[in-house]
Structure 1
Amino acid sequence: MAENEVHCLGKVMQFETINSPKVADVIVSQIEQLILDGVLKPGERLSPERELAQELNVSRPSLREAITTLKSRGLLRSARGGRHYVVDIIAPTLTDPLIELLKSHPKAMFDVLELRHALEEVGAYFAALRATEADREILQRRFAELEEIQQGEHAPQHDSIVDANFHLAIADASHNVALIHVMRGLFNLLLSHICRSLERLYTRESSYVIVHSQHRAILKAILDRDPEAARQAAHIHLAFVETTLRELDEEAARQQRSQRRLPSLSALEIRA
């Protein structure tokens, strides 16, 4: 960029010439920000070019140039008919072999819980601070889906998907792109962990009722825009899950010990 010398109060000062940004660059910046903020979500279709150009008050050639740039950056993909979609740049990254490895080591379940504490408490806190009206509507829909599974038969595999989607909606509402990336990257792990937890929690009739009330408390705190209450509600929920799972482990261990101590029926018959 060219430099100009300006004399001011006897001093020679050098300034860089300010060039106005290209319209296409401004469009790119706006769409990137909408993706970062979670307003444009993975898989979402952009408005048709004519409508989008009118909304942005730009020419269609400028819009096409911006779309070409966004496609080259891996943020948009095009389909037939001139349709453009947001690419899922935060798809799950953990592989199935790693999930299976974690499944085969029961103690790893508590490692995952420790990670969930760190991520989900922060997510709930920022969701309470930053959730938009659209986020709040999505959260209420996800909670309504949780309400539905309370009315039917409890199926851990299906219920875990509904449960995980509720927690992911909270992460989305945090509008922290790093947190969203991590949570979605861990989706397979989160789903597997919730499914295994529900399989065990459902052995206690009252557990799923308590978990549901805890989900309600998290939602209420977010809708009330109370970040500390949201963080605490998330902590109480995960602490309850951890405590219950540890208690179930202890009960199972006690049963195994007592069974080992009891003589078999055949042994009693021989003694008789």
Structure 2
Amino acid sequence: MEKSYLKVDNYIKEQVLNGCLKAGDRLLPERELALLLDVSRNSVREGLRILENMGVISSQQGSGNYISSDFDETIVSVMSYMYVLKEMDMDQITEFRYALEWQAMNLAIKKATENQKKRMLELVEQMSEAKTEDLRGALDKEIHYLIIESAGNEYMTTTFKALTCIMERYIHQMRDKIILGMSNDEGLTQVHRMIVEALVEGDLKKGIDGLKLHYQYINEYKNT
């Protein structure tokens, strides 16, 4: 027999999927939901609490419950736990991130806006002038985020955020090894310049070659 609080979850899910509820919409009051679903108000509260913890709804004191318009952080958090608890190693995560960026490059070549291209060029210039590894790392991350965002696919963006969260410490530890293993400190910057120029020029082959080189460096030095 279906638990009472699950009726709330299933009802809200059905309303969202069929388009009756959208981000920002206010839910029925607890009393009306209880009558509609033939459950107790305690069951309604429990169901709503679970949905709020999931990030699906947000509760506003004195106003009611609303379908959340921003639960990316909850999704990122859940996915990050999944990567850890399933004991996915960094080889698997790196492979997945490479595949994600490869497809993002294919889409971004066609979809990147002029403002996004301009910003990426600015970031590469700042990267070449960066005096510290922390600054270079922050610019590196922003470039990759922009590539993903330029693809125009929200699912890819959210997934990339989760991947980056779990890899962040790992990437930070690796960065010095990557740079020390290259012929000069400009090497990593030049790889990013190649990738960004490819997007600006609309040159898919150059972009894919740049990504391939980028991940070759990562794979070569991550275990040293």
Q: Percent identity?
A: 16
Question: Alpha carbons of 1:137 and 1:243: their partners in 2 closer, same or farther (altered >3 Å)?
Answer: same
The alignment status of 1:210 with 2:161, answered yes or no, reads no
Hey, what does 1:162 align to over in structure 2? 139
Question: Alpha carbons of 1:161 and 1:191: their partners in 2 closer, same or farther (altered >3 Å)?
Answer: farther
158-167 or 173-182, larger mean C-alpha shift? 158-167
For the 8 Å contact 1:94–1:189, the answer to whether it is kept is no
One-letter amino acid matched to 1:215: H
Bigger fraction of residues in helix: 2
For the 8 Å contact 1:135–1:173, the answer to whether it is kept is yes
Hey, what does 1:71 align to over in structure 2? 24
Hey, what does 1:147 align to over in structure 2? 128
Hey, what does 1:118 align to over in structure 2? 99
Stretches of structure 1 lacking an aligned partner (at least 5 in a row): 1-67, 79-85, 250-272
Q: For 1:198, which of 158, 175, 190 is the aligned residue?
A: 175
Q: CA deviation at 1:70?
A: 4.0
Per-residue deviation, residues 5-51 of structure 1 (Å, max 9, x unmatched): xxxxxxxxxxxxxxxxxxxxxxxxxxxxxxxxxxxxxxxxxxxxxxx
For the 8 Å contact 1:161–1:191, the answer to whether it is kept is no
Hey, what does 2:72 align to over in structure 1? 90
Hey, what does 1:20 align to over in structure 2? none
Scaled by the length of structure 2, the TM-score of the pair is: 0.60
One-letter amino acid matched to 1:113: T
Stretches of structure 2 lacking an aligned partner (at least 5 in a row): 1-20, 27-55, 61-67
Q: CA deviation at 1:161?
A: 2.4
Hey, what does 2:64 align to over in structure 1? none
SS at match of 1:206: coil
Question: Alpha carbons of 1:98 and 1:171: their partners in 2 closer, same or farther (altered >3 Å)?
Answer: same
Note the aligned Cα RMSD (angstroms): 3.7
Matched residue count: 166
Matched ranges for 1:96-111 at <5 A: 108-111=89-92
